[in-house]
Chains A and B, each alone.
Chain A
Amino acid sequence: MNIQYLPVVAVSISLLAVPLIILLNKKPNLREAVSLLAGVVKLGCVIALVPHVLNGEQIEIVLWEFEAGLPIAFRVDGLGLLFAFVAASLWIVTTAYSIGYMRTTKSKNLTRFYSYFAISLAATLGVAFSANLLTLYLFYEALSLATFPLVTHNGDGEARSGGRRYLYFLLTTSIGLVLPAMLYIYGQVGDLNFQPGGVLVDSGMSQTTLLVLLLAFVFGFAKAALMPFHGWLPGAMVAPTPVSALLHAVAVVKVGVFSILRIITGIFGTDFMAQVNWHEIVTWVAAGTVVISSLIALSQDNLKRRLAYSTIGQLAYIILGASLLTDRAVTGSSLHILMHAFGKITLFFCAGAIYVASGKKYISQMVGLGRIMPWTMAAFLIGSMSVIGLPPTGGFVSKWLLLMGALDARMNAVVVVYLVSSLLNAAYFLPIVFRGFYVPGDDPTKPVKMKEAPLWCLIPLWITALISIALFFLSDTAIRLIEVFLGVGV
């Protein structure tokens, strides 16, 4: 098969699975097997692409020409492939996890759930492989719409209001900010392709226009949850945990930061953006988001909400790194997409496992939980370490590169932000582990009985935890991919 078609297959395989999933409505086992199978094929496609990209091959395919010079097209590069790999691999794990979670919690409408899950993944990969801004925008919107039924899956009042807020935020910003900005660029430059040097270099736009465009994109991709457009994320935590885990720790939010990375590298170009006056605004907004969200996270008692605010902070890390515009910082933020994904999904899985096994949602209830669920809490520790950035987990590598990048940029304040926020991360994660293991439960006299989550939950979360550790040792390939993309060496 021609290599060109591989990205198309990777995107569409989960769409093809949807009719099968719907047809197998009455046979849950087969239905979930189909989901898993599609995930494996998808991941296979993505992995098959890796050597080609490392060789520097151009993999490009035009699906459909909308207007002369404005196609819906895919192009695979290192950054996109890295992101696609994250999404595809985690889909498999999450599918496995959701089998355990959803069956144990006796959720309804699982066919709908798996169908939209598959569609969301297709949209995510579409974003990853987009060759131009229009394609990216279309898949971005498709993702917003496809995840809405997932967010509101429970169908009760809370889910509905969360879902409403979710859509309002995402659609308002993308239609209100990104679309006009994109159209303006298209009207002025006539080109929306992501190019290494950016497309705006020779546009002759005024500094003010450029700044407005930049801000429109950075805030318009509200999936990145940069403050003050972060409000949807904690609200969307009403979704079932697998959804929160995959979509709100990985796919959806990462699509947001990925889009912003694309804008900075492909539309503005890092070199050109450095010439834009006041581009530091992005840096400061991101830095502010990092600190503020970490502080808010400290005050949250609901575990999933705490994770949500932590996510907001970590996403801002990535944008912060990218806005520094040095090679190492951009590499670090690209890598952080990968590292944070595995760390955070582990944490979400743990939160879900705790809920499934014990019905506990609040951190204050989780006293002594480490003895009841030692495996889960151990994995939680690994996930926390990765998010905080402690070796030997993958999070350390990316945070290290981010720090180095900040030093390269001679932004000492940013270095301080990174360090402070890492401390805050530690401050809001480690007590959970500590209380879980060392503080005795409600009734110390009662003998503790182990009551773990079902295996379908436990195995996936350990897989992701182990991968978090493995990434510490295997970060080379990922960095190579990014280097190929950026055309630099670190």
Chain B
Amino acid sequence: MKVFAFVLVIVTGIMLVVTAADFPAWGDAHSPPNQYLSTHYITQAEHETAVPNMVTAVLADYRGFDTMFETAVVFCAGLAIAAILGHEKKKRYVVRRKALPKTEEGDIIIRMATRFLVPVTQLFAMYVIAHGHHSPGGGFQGGVILAATFILMTLAFDLKTILGRFSEKMTLIWANVGLFIYAGIGVLCVLLGSRFLEYSALHKILPGTDEIMARSHSMLGVEIGVALTVMSMLFAIYAHLVSKGRLEDGL
């Protein structure tokens, strides 16, 4: 097997190396990918969508259909992992505490630091989501940061406690809500007599906007949807993986 793999790798590698000779050089501003569509996005994105961050504009608007399925991939992965590892559904979430436990085992410094860090991080995550139009950021990034805060909490406390606050059921609901927001905005465009995800149609119901600003605002809605799904599903994936699907105790 090793010999076979080695030969395969060498053959494929040679093919790729030979082909790479045909490629444009590093940083070539005049290579085809940096010219054709790229130029349009760079020069027109602001005009057409009123979003200065071109990545966000391309992500959520020009290629919004991709992004919707990207969100669906996350949703699908969460569902898949729950399906693979999940045990029979039982009443597991009897522990419902209002406040984080004060007398748990573990390092008090870490727990205190977490208590302090989590709200700040979550606030930052929301900034990343909301300010994605103007600075690096967006739904995915914000969602991942949000999920990271929950993961941080499970590391500092324990899984059961955190699941008492953000249960499997809630992750499912929020992931659904997120995807619903995204696809729902798309459908709303259809209902308003336009095409799927053609946000400009939404200016009919968004007060004080024109077609271009409607695109900008809808992108924010879409990003929020993405963030919700990513946050809840990544946390759910983590929770399942660390506890072998039992969702009781893990890392």
User: A and B: direct contact (Cβ < 8 Å)?
Assistant: no
Residues of B within 8 A of A (CB): none
